[in-house]
C-alpha cells in the first residue's frame, strides 16, 4: 500500500512538472509571436516614416530617391529576405543622417514652426523603436531556445512540431542625427 502511495505521488509530481513545463513553453512561444508582430509593426513604421520624409520635398533629390527606394524595398521584400532589405534601409539612413547636421531644408509653416523637424523626429523615434523591438525579439528567442534545449522538454517532446525560433539579425544602428 505504501509503495502505491509513493508511486501516485511521483506520478502526480511528474504530471505537475510536465504541465508546468508545457505551459511555460507555450507562453514563451506566444510571447515570441507577439515580439515578432511588434517588430513587424516597428519596421513598417520606420519605412513609412522614411517614405514620408523622402517624399516631403525637404531632402535633396538624390538623398530622397535613395531613401524612398530603400524604404520601398524594405516594405515589399518577402519575409525570408527581410534582414538584407532592412540592413539596406539602415545603411541608407546612416549615409543620409550620420552626422551632426541634418541634410534637410527646414521649411516653416505660417506660425514659424519647422514642420520637417516633426518628420525627422518621427523617423528618429521609429529607428530607435526598431532597435529596441529587434533586441527584445532576439532576447525572447534566446530564452525560448534555451528552454527547448532542456532535457526535460526534449525527452517528453513538449515543443511538438514547432520550428526552432531563429534570431533576427540586421543592421539596426541609429544615425547620430536621431540620437538624443
pLDDT at res. 37: 97
Q: Rounded to an integer, what distance in angstroms lies between the CA atom of residue 116 and that of residue 96?
A: 15
- DSSP annotation string for 47-82: HHHHHHHHTTT-B-HHHHHHHHHHHHHHHHS-GGGH
Q: Which helix (H) or strand (E) holds 145?
A: helix 115-148
Nearest CA among 110, 101, 122, 107 for reference residue 177:
101
Examine residue 10 and state whether it is found in any structural domain, yes or no.
Answer: no
Of residues 63 and 113, more confidence is placed in: 63
pLDDT tens-place string over residues 17-39: 999 999 999 999 999 999 999 99
Examine residue 105 and state whether it is found in any structural domain, yes or no.
Answer: no
Examine residue 11 and state whether it is found in any structural domain, yes or no.
Answer: no
pLDDT at res. 112: 45
Examine residue 169 and state whether it is found in any structural domain, yes or no.
Answer: yes
- CB-based burial of residue 72 (10 Å sphere; 0-12 exposed, 13-18 middle, 19+ buried)? middle
Examine residue 162 and state whether it is found in any structural domain, yes or no.
Answer: yes
Whether the CB-CB separation of 164 and 145 falls below 8 Å is answered with yes
Examine residue 120 and state whether it is found in any structural domain, yes or no.
Answer: yes
Whole-number percent of the chain with pLDDT over 70 = 89
Query: Hey, how many other C-beta atoms are within 10 angstroms of the C-beta on 141?
Result: 19
Contacts of 172 (CB under 8 A, 6+ apart): 86, 90, 127, 130, 131, 134
What is the domain range of residue 76? 25-100+112-178
Of residues 91 and 97, more confidence is placed in: 91
Domain count, the chain: 1
Nearest CA among 49, 34, 51, 42 for reference residue 128:
42
Examine residue 6 and state whether it is found in any structural domain, yes or no.
Answer: no
Query: How is the chain split among helix, strand and coil, in percent rounded to 5?
Result: 70, 0, 25
pLDDT at 99 > cutoff 80: no
Nearest CA among 148, 128, 141 for reference residue 24:
148
Query: Hey, how many other C-beta atoms are within 10 angstroms of the C-beta on 154?
Result: 11
Examine residue 4 and state whether it is found in any structural domain, yes or no.
Answer: no
The residues facing 104 across adjacent strands are: 59
Whether the CB-CB separation of 35 and 50 falls below 8 Å is answered with no
pLDDT tens-place string over residues 37-93: 999 999 999 999 999 999 998 888 999 999 999 999 999 999 999 999 999 999 999
Amino acid at each position: 500500500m505504501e509503495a502505491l502511495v509513493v508511486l501516485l505521488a511521483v506520478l502526480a509530481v511528474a504530471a505537475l512538472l510536465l504541465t508546468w513545463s508545457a505551459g511555460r513553453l507555450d507562453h514563451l512561444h506566444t510571447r515570441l509571436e507577439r515580439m515578432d508582430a511588434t517588430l513587424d509593426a516597428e519596421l513598417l513604421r520606420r519605412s513609412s516614416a522614411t517614405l514620408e520624409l523622402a517624399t516631403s520635398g525637404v531632402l535633396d533629390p538624390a538623398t530622397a530617391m535613395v531613401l524612398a527606394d530603400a524604404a520601398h524595398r524594405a516594405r515589399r521584400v518577402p519575409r525570408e529576405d527581410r534582414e538584407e532589405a532592412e540592413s539596406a534601409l539602415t545603411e541608407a539612413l546612416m549615409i543620409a543622417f550620420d552626422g551632426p547636421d541634418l541634410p534637410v531644408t527646414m521649411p516653416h509653416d505660417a506660425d514659424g514652426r519647422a514642420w520637417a523637424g516633426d518628420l525627422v523626429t518621427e523617423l528618429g523615434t521609429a529607428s530607435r523603436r526598431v532597435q529596441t523591438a529587434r533586441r527584445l525579439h532576439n532576447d525572447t528567442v534566446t530564452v525560448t531556445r534555451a528552454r527547448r534545449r532542456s532535457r526535460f522538454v526534449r525527452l517528453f517532446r513538449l515543443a511538438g512540431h514547432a520550428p526552432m525560433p531563429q534570431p533576427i539579425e540586421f543592421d539596426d544602428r541609429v544615425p547620430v542625427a536621431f540620437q538624443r
